[in-house]
């Protein structure tokens, strides 16, 4: 029921030199939790607002449930939107805020009561129904805003940064609640955030955007494991993936990744990626996640890592409780490594590390495109 189709959608705002949304082409499957993520200004909200009918589509088509929707007014689209700023009516009670949309649609009184009470129970705000918005905390207001969307029982929920006004603890709590609501309702959710952690924890599928363009669409783990380009690789994951510039060279049938100071053997499993890369191999970026920079001295020494070792000068140590992040330098290259929480290493020390070359990524330096994972257009 709640499937949405974006067919080569563009948004040109007056006075903007480039399209704010550029060829957005995607099918949203019924029941999925789709997250649009990317830095501020990349076109997420505009995309969502075009789906809601709050912005005109400049070019391309939007279909909801198979129906061409470009010119359907927002109120006639069977979707509910939740905003960052709650958008509650201050003079109405919580009950009336939640009921208003249904009353305007002439839903029978008994039905309105039933739906409001059911949503309030689900969100654990039944005890607040008689209060006014100014008597509520930020978290409670956002629940009311969610409740108002829930009672509509729409085909799709659209959410634009709904958690960004909440403090860290409430944000985590409400995040879990939204995930729960989605799994109970099994309705389509389209959710906008600039926060990659939020995207990774909530989405069943994530759309990474930059400068109005889709960079990659994939389930969270796949996005993390197989980023299609440098931007996605750097944006998803915290602390972010390490990048080293260098060349891939071949000597006596063996490939190495080489910088001015390092020469690391590349496992054979990568060789097939290099066949079509040609001259691109001279200017590549190696990407390695902090958890794949091995610091444990017992592990570093093992035979399998023999050609993957080098020394790092530790500059800073960030203790996170479960883990420690070590920030170090290998020549002019900066590296972040994830180490054991109780690692005895101190800033100023030199540490032998092994870079897990069986887990690294390679990107073409100029285009940023991955040499390992082919670009797939959705």
Sheet holding 263-265, edge to edge: 263-265, 254-258, 242-251, 284-288, 361-364
Return all residues near 101 (Cβ < 8 A) that are at least 6 apart.
80, 148, 151, 152
Asked if residue 43 binds ligand ADP (CB under 6 A), the reply is yes
Does residue 46 bind ligand ADP (CB under 6 A)? Answer: yes
CA dihedral sign, ordered 286, 292, 298, 304: negative
Q: Which range touches ligand ADP (CB under 6 A), out of 41-49, 261-269, 301-309, 355-363?
A: 41-49
Q: Which stretch binds ligand ADP (CB under 6 A): 34-42, 101-109, 172-180, 289-297?
A: 34-42
* Total interface residues for ligand ADP by CB under 6 A: 11
Q: How far is the CB of 331 from ligand ADP (least distance, A)?
A: 37
Query: Is the CB of 56 or the CB of 124 nearer to ligand ADP?
Result: 56
Which residues are within 8 A (CB) of 342 and not within 5 positions of it... i.e. 6 or more apart?
Answer: 324
Comparison of 69 and 84: residue with beta carbon closer to ligand ADP: 84
Nearer to ligand ADP, 194 or 205 (CB): 194
- Beta carbon nearer to ligand ADP, 20 or 242: 20
> Using the rule CB under 6 A, is 42 a contact of ligand ADP?
yes
Complex with ligand ADP: residue 44 or 152, whichever CB lies closer: 44
Minimum distance from CB of 5 to ligand ADP (Å)? Answer: 20
The window from 33-41, 216-224, 267-275, 282-290 that contacts ligand ADP (CB under 6 A) reads 33-41
Which position among 20, 142, 155, 187 is part of the footprint of ligand ADP (CB under 6 A)? 20
Q: Does 97 bind ligand ADP (CB under 6 A)?
A: no
Segment lying near ligand ADP (by CB under 6 A), choices 39-47, 252-260, 338-346, 370-378: 39-47
Smallest distance from the beta carbon of 57 to ligand ADP, in angstroms? 13
Region binding ligand ADP by CB under 6 A among candidate stretches 42-50, 215-223, 234-242, 341-349: 42-50
Other beta carbons within 10 angstroms of residue 127's beta carbon come to 9
Query: Is 360 strand, coil or helix?
Result: coil
At 200, list the tokens: 């990774």
Position 162 contacts ligand ADP (CB under 6 A)? no
Q: Minimum distance from CB of 43 to ligand ADP (Å)? A: 4
Which one of residues 16, 124, 340, 375 is an interface residue with ligand ADP (CB under 6 A)? 16
- Identity of the residue, 213 or 359, whose beta carbon is nearer to ligand ADP in the bound complex: 213
Q: Which residue matches tokens 């589509």?
A: 57
CA distance 351 to 310: 8
**What are the strands of the beta sheet with 4-11, ordered from one edge?**
21-28, 4-11, 59-64, 67-68
Q: How far apart are CA 325 and CA 340, in angstroms?
A: 9
Q: Does 44 bind ligand ADP (CB under 6 A)?
A: yes
Which CB atom, from 41 or from 378, has the smaller least distance to ligand ADP?
41
Residue 254 backbone dihedrals phi, psi, to 5 degrees: -110, 135
Instruction: Give the integer Cα–Cα distance in Å for 157 and 306.
Output: 52
CB closer to ligand ADP, 60 vs 267: 60
**What number of other Cβ atoms are within 10 A of residue 258's Cβ?**
16
Measure the CA–CA gap between 192 and 47, rounded to whole angstroms: 9
- Closest CB 18 distance from ligand ADP, rounded Å: 8
Strands (E), the chain: 4-11, 21-28, 33-37, 59-64, 67-68, 79-82, 156-160, 188-193, 205-210, 213-218, 242-251, 254-258, 263-265, 284-288, 293-294, 309-319, 323-330, 333-340, 350-355, 361-364
Whichever of 9 and 293 has its CB closer to ligand ADP, that residue is 9
Among candidates 270, 271, 248, which has minimal Cα distance to 258?
248
Packing angle, helices 109-122 and 94-104, rounded to 10: 130
Which is nearer to ligand ADP, 44 or 292 (by Cβ)?
A: 44
Binding of ligand ADP by 56 (CB under 6 A)? no
Q: Which of 5, 32, 35, 45 contacts ligand ADP by CB under 6 A?
A: 45
Which chain residues interact with ligand ADP by CB under 6 A?
Answer: 13, 16, 20, 38, 40-46
């Amino acid at each position: 029921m709640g499937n949405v189709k974006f067919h080569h959608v563009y948004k040109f705002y007056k006075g903007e030199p480039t399209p704010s949304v550029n060829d957005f082409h995607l099918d949203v499957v019924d029941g999925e939790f789709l997250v649009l993520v990317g830095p501020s200004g990349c076109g997420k909200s505009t995309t969502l607002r075009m789906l809601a009918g709050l912005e005109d589509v400049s070019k391309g088509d939007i279909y909801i449930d198979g129906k061409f929707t470009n010119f359907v007014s927002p109120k006639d689209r069977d979707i509910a939107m939740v905003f960052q700023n709650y958008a509650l009516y201050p003079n109405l009670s919580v009950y009336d805020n939640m009921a208003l949309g249904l009353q305007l649609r002439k839903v029978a009184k008994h039905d309105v009561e039933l739906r409001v009470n059911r949503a309030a129970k689900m969100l654990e705000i039944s005890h607040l129904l008689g209060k006014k918005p100014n008597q509520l905390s930020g978290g409670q207001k956002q629940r009311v805003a969610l409740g108002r969307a829930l009672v509509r029982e729409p085909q799709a929920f659209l959410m634009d940064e709904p958690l960004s006004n909440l403090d860290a603890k409430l944000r985590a709590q409400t995040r879990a609640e939204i995930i729960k609501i989605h799994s109970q309702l099994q309705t389509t959710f389209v959710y906008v955030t600039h926060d990659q952690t939020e995207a990774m924890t909530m989405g069943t599928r994530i759309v990474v955007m930059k400068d109005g363009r889709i960079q990659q669409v994939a389930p969270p783990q796949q996005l993390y494991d197989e980023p299609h380009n440098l931007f996605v690789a750097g944006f998803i994951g915290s602390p972010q993936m390490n990048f080293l510039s260098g060349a891939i060279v071949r000597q006596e049938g063996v490939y190495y990744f080489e910088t001015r100071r390092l020469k690391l053997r590349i496992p054979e499993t990568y060789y097939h990626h290099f066949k079509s890369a040609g001259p691109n191999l001279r200017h590549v970026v190696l990407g390695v996640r902090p958890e794949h920079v091995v610091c444990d001295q017992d592990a570093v020494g093992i035979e399998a890592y023999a050609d993957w070792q080098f020394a790092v000068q530790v500059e800073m140590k960030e203790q996170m409780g479960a883990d420690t992040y070590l920030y170090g330098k290998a020549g002019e290259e900066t590296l972040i490594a994830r180490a054991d929480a109780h690692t005895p290493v101190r800033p100023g020390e030199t540490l032998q590390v092994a870079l897990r070359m069986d887990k690294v990524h390679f990107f073409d330096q100029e285009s940023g495109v991955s040499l390992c994972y082919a670009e797939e257009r959705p």
